[in-house]
Amino acid sequence: MQVVKHINELRTLLDHSRKEGLTIGFVPTMGALHAGHLSLVELAGQQTGFVVVSIFVNPTQFNDKADLDRYPRDLQKDLDLLSSSLCQLVFAPEPNEIYPEPDTRQFNFGTLEQVMEGKFRPGHFNGVAQVVSRLFDIVQPDKAFFGQKDFQQLAIIREMVRKMKLGVEIVSCPIIREADGLAMSSRNMLLDAVQRQSAVHISATLSEANNKTGDLSVEELCRWVIARINENEQLKTEYFEIVNSLTLMPVMSWDEPCVKVGCIAVHCGKVRLIDNIEFTKKSIQ
Ligand code: PAF
């Protein structure tokens, strides 16, 4: 596995792989890697011939400076984890490599960015689109792999690829969970022991909610989830919405003919956690 910091080194190595006829799989990350990231690398390795992982904590997608400062960083640990994975090349640039000048581009994703994360983290998806489009331009991958935990991010990136005609296939990968159900996230390592125990309540409540769709209306279920989570004194729900998986617009009734996903953001102390669940048809009456 090779590690490079500069675009020109990366391009030389990628040109070489392309000349060998290998397809390029790309896993963009912000480091603080965990088994969820490694599952993306594994899928990328199965589906492409040469896997590139980027590690870059992108400042433009943080609307809260304290959150950016707190974001966990441990490059050596990340490299150790990747060295036994299917990753062949790590791109770990400094901010001025990605942004030699400030990126002033303004993306417009319409209603996709006006709900949930977009509503509560203004500017976040603009920053995500800036960095992902920049990284796609640098790496020119055939396929890029993203986790479904960031459900809205996936929708935004698909839309960006469509609008900008980027010619990269976006592969959506399942959420990887801890043994007790907590969705894996780099932010989990910021939780203290009590918060960590409480955090499991989020995925447990979403699973319980999936069994209640026959008994409660969409609106009642949303209220139930929020109340249930907030019963735990460590947790404060920012939003829980049940949305159409394609448009991300709130669903009003279980009868709507679409895949329905419940998306949640919860504050656990200073740590903000997100998760989601696709409601299974069998429990919807
Ligand atoms: O999902 C993430 O870790 C980040 O938003 C991404 C896609 C690497 C862009 O910085």
Exactly one of 16, 37, 201, 267 is catalytic; name it: 37
Domain ranges, residue 58: 2-173
Half-sphere exposure of 66 (CA within 13 A, CB side): 3
Helix axes 124-139, 7-19, angle to 10 degrees: 50
| pLDDT for res 280 | 86
Which CATH number fits the domain that encloses residue 270?
Answer: 3.30.1300.10
What's the pTM value of the predicted model, to 2 decimals?
A: 0.96
| pLDDT for res 285 | 44
In a domain, 24, yes or no: yes
In a domain, 180, yes or no: no
* Residue 131, ligand 1, Cβ within 6 A: yes
User: 182-237 pLDDT, tens per residue?
Assistant: 999 999 999 999 999 999 999 999 999 999 999 999 999 999 999 999 999 999 99
Ligand 1 pocket mutation pick from 55, 126, 132, 152 by most atoms within 8 angstroms of CB: 132
Asked if residues 229 and 266 have their Cβ atoms less than 8 Å apart, the reply is yes
**Mean pLDDT, to the nearest integer, of 31-43?**
98
Cα(200) to ligand 1 centroid in Å equals: 23
User: 260-278 pLDDT, tens per residue?
Assistant: 999 999 999 999 999 999 9
User: 82-128 pLDDT, tens per residue?
Assistant: 999 999 999 999 999 999 999 999 999 999 999 999 999 999 999 99
User: 148-194 pLDDT, tens per residue?
Assistant: 999 999 999 999 999 999 999 999 999 999 999 999 999 999 999 99
Distance from C-alpha of 279 to C-alpha of 237, rounded to nearest angstrom: 19
Q: In the structure, what pLDDT confidence band is assigned to residue 281 with cuts at 50, 70 and 90?
A: low
User: Do 130 and 234 reside in the same domain of the chain?
Assistant: no
Type and span of the H or E element at 95: helix 95-98
In a domain, 181, yes or no: no
User: Do 17 and 148 reside in the same domain of the chain?
Assistant: yes
User: 11-30 pLDDT, tens per residue?
Assistant: 999 999 999 999 999 999 99
Asked which of 173, 202, 234 is the last residue of a domain, the reply is 173
Tokens of 13: 């190595």
Res. 283: pLDDT tops 50: no
Distance from C-alpha of 218 to C-alpha of 250, rounded to nearest angstrom: 9
Distance from C-alpha of 13 to C-alpha of 22, rounded to nearest angstrom: 12
Tokens of 39: 């599952």
Is 16 an annotated catalytic residue? no
User: Do 118 and 237 reside in the same domain of the chain?
Assistant: no
In a domain, 252, yes or no: yes
